[in-house]
Structure 1
Amino acid sequence: MSQDKIYYNILNTAASNIGLSFDDKKYEQFIKYKDLLKEWNEKVNLTAIKEDEEIIKKHFIDSMKIFKFEPLKKAKKVIDIGTGGGFPGIPMKIIKPEIDMFLLDSLRKRINVLEDILHNIEINDVTAIHGRAEEYGVNSNHRQQYDAVVSRAVANLAVLSEFCIPYVKVGGYFVAMKGPAVEEEIKGAKKAISTLGGKIEEVIEVEIEDSDLNHNLVVIKKIKNTPKQYPRKAGSITKKPIA
């Protein structure tokens, strides 16, 4: 079996296992995305993962699996905070093109790269934003304007919640992608989540097909408005998480 066929089957199986459709166009976008990611990674640090199959499993399928949380399939306006190399936002957009997707990252170089990638894989309706999460979180164009906020950023859940929950509409969701050992983080973040207007709804275990990789989706529902004083400045958020 050709490598192309193997990759197509892996992606197709992953999509169908969470009830999403897959086709040749989506496959071509993923493969072009992979190639551009590798090419740009020589100049700008986007990922430590460099093997084709690992990119497909650890980035693309991992990102796609966020739809294991069913209500995300109905979200119209979504923002990916701390998107880095475009994860999970770009794979989400490829697999579900009707989402109005926003990507936020604090590094201008990365945003430039993502804009180039999006243009080359022929996705023209994603908004890539250069800026800091705590600054846009107080901006009335973004604060409490999203059906869902997603993040795979490497930050403690209490810290990440203060960066992300302010963006979520009441009734919407913040979905944090976390590793397998997440219980302690959740315990330490409960006060922050509650203070910011959220409530942990569920933790969903996710496995990646044809691998021993697994992680968790921490699903937080926005049940009330975030108080005006949040998010604080970045230094305060990271040095003194809400506890």
Structure 2
Amino acid sequence: MTAETIFEYFPNLSENQKEQFEKLEELYKDWNQKINVVSRKDIDELYLRHVLHSLGIAKFISFNDGSKILDVGTGGGFPGIPLAILFPEVHFTLVDSIGKKIKVVDEVIEGLQLSNVKTINARVEEIPGQF
């Protein structure tokens, strides 16, 4: 499965969104070799087992522009990063207590040039605000 499958389910993506989805595999494969955040057997099925599953919520819920969404225990950035690509006008905060996972997520966010995502390396109980 490739990013093209995502485009079939979500045909109204901008060119920028398509490029970001296409970059996901390269970024995750590169970082996963350094810091294992996606199961080795799942990395070849990234679009099916992680990206498409993350986007499934978008078939039932549409976030209002300006909403603040909290992804608790984001791990490798799922579902937060794919949803942030799909909803560029929504603000996502990705939280995980494991620093090496947040390191990978930060690098993926930077590689995709996502401006609507921030990460926090902490336990969710420590996060102020409403989401």
Q: Give the TM-score normalised by structure 1.
A: 0.49
- Post-superposition offset of 1:28: 1.3
Whether contact under 8 Å (1:34, 1:55) holds in the other structure is yes
- Structure 1 CA distance for aligned equivalents of residues 87 and 78 of structure 2: 14
1:59 maps to 50
2:6 maps to 11
SS in 2 for 1:83: coil
The structure having more radius of gyration, on CA atoms, is 1
- Structure 2 CA distance for aligned equivalents of residues 121 and 28 of structure 1: 9
Q: Give the TM-score normalised by structure 2.
A: 0.87
Whether contact under 8 Å (1:46, 1:84) holds in the other structure is yes
State the Cα RMSD in Å.
1.8
Whether contact under 8 Å (2:94, 2:120) holds in the other structure is yes
Whether contact under 8 Å (2:84, 2:116) holds in the other structure is no
- Post-superposition offset of 1:116: 1.3
Pairing partner for 2:64 from 74, 77, 93: 74
Unmatched tracts of structure 1, length 5 or more: 147-243
Give the aligned residue type for 2:64: K
Number of residue pairs the alignment of both structures matches: 128
Residue deviations 1:91-113 (CA, integer Å, cap 9, x gap): 00101100111000111111122
- Structure 2 CA distance for aligned equivalents of residues 7 and 117 of structure 1: 16
Q: Does 1:135 align with 2:126?
A: yes
Unmatched tracts of structure 2, length 5 or more: none
- Post-superposition offset of 1:73: 2.5
SS in 1 for 2:103: helix
2:82 maps to 91
Residue deviations 1:23-76 (CA, integer Å, cap 9, x gap): 33212111212111111111212111121xx21111111111111223x43261
Pairing partner for 2:13 from 22, 32, 42: 22
SS in 1 for 2:115: coil
SS in 2 for 1:73: coil
2:111 maps to 120
Label 1:88 to 1:42 Cα distance change in 2 as closer, same or farther (>3 A).
same
Q: In proportion to residue count, which structure has more helix?
A: 2
Pairing partner for 1:33 from 21, 24, 43: 24
1:224 maps to none
SS in 2 for 1:129: strand
- Structure 1 CA distance for aligned equivalents of residues 91 and 3 of structure 2: 27
- Structure 2 CA distance for aligned equivalents of residues 112 and 94 of structure 1: 19
Q: Does 1:109 align with 2:100?
A: yes
SS in 1 for 2:34: coil
2:43 maps to 50
Give the aligned residue type for 2:87: K
SS in 1 for 2:10: helix
Give the aligned residue type for 1:125: N
Give the aligned residue type for 1:101: F
